[in-house]
Amino acid sequence: MSNSERSKSEKAQSEKDLIKNLLAGDEATFESTFNQYYSLMFSVAQSIAGSSIADEVIQEAWISALRALPKFEGRSSLKSWLMRIVANEAKTRRRKESRSVSLESMQESWATDPRFDEKSHWVNPSSQWHGDTPEDLLLAKELQDCISKNLEKLPENQRAALQMRDAAGLSMDELCNILDVSPSNVRVLLHRARDKVLQVIDHFELTGEC
């Protein structure tokens, strides 16, 4: 057995032991697992439902996950499975908190944009995100506020994909699982969201207005 195979086997066994302890009602395992995934759960919940109700989303999702754990079949990692539950709870809560938002229809095709590389990262991020003088810092703060304001206007899945990819650092595979979309659709979501952010930055730098 190779080192890679041995590592995967040990990881799978460790996860089985973890699930076994959770099913047995081990309080220490509950606490350590919740603490281990809290930051990531918060990032997912915040990306979809907003920070004001993120903790409520996490609590409801955690309870739902524990109830559904006996049916967990291990087709994905426990982390991916849990984040999917958090995402679904966040979507439900967002719709309850505001008027129903129809998800934007997406095309499978995705044209290559020279501003992004093959991994959907910006090739040349704006050089004016950082400043040294108080005036520069103020402008940077105003730009960040402007970006945040416009992010809230994005379709739900675009905003969630962008924040979970760029802020939380989730992989493309994890985004596909959490958002329940294909890899090509994830690229579409990221491209459209980043294109909007770049438009906001260009407009702000040109006019000084949001």
Condensed to tens digits (0 to 9), the pLDDT of residues 3-37 reads: 555 555 556 567 788 888 888 888 888 899 999 99
- 151 pLDDT higher than 80: yes
Q: Residue 43: its pLDDT value, please? A: 85
Local structure of 1: helix, strand or coil: coil
Domain residue limits, the chain:
3-97, 127-207
What confidence category does residue 125 fall into, taking pLDDT thresholds of 50, 70 and 90?
A: low
- 87 pLDDT higher than 70: yes
Q: Looking at per-residue confidence, does 136 or 210 come out higher?
A: 210
Q: Residue 128: its pLDDT value, please? A: 46
- 3-97 CATH, one of 1.10.3720.10, 3.10.20.30, 2.40.420.20, 1.10.1740.10: 1.10.1740.10
Q: Residue 159: its pLDDT value, please? A: 87
- 109 pLDDT higher than 80: no
Lowest mean pLDDT among 63-67, 71-75, 137-141, 145-149: 137-141
127-207: in CATH 1.10.10.10: yes
Ordered alpha helix ranges (H), 50-133: 54-68, 78-97
**Among 46-50, 61-65, 148-152, which range has the highest average pLDDT?**
61-65
DSSP structural state of residue 60? H
Percentage of residues of the chain with pLDDT beyond 70: 73
Q: Residue 18: its pLDDT value, please? A: 85
Could you give the maximum distance between any two Cα atoms of the chain, in Å?
61
Q: What are phi and psi of 116, to 5 degrees?
A: -125, 145
Mean pLDDT of the chain: 77
- 96 pLDDT higher than 60: yes
Q: Judge whether 3-97 and 127-207 match in fold.
A: no
What confidence category does residue 63 fall into, taking pLDDT thresholds of 50, 70 and 90?
A: very high
Q: Residue 180: its pLDDT value, please? A: 84
Question: Per-residue b/e over 149-177, b at no fewer than 16 CB within 10 Å?
Answer: ebbeebbbbbbbbbbbbbebebeeebbbb
Q: Looking at the DSSP assignment, which residues form a beta bridge with residue 122?
A: 116
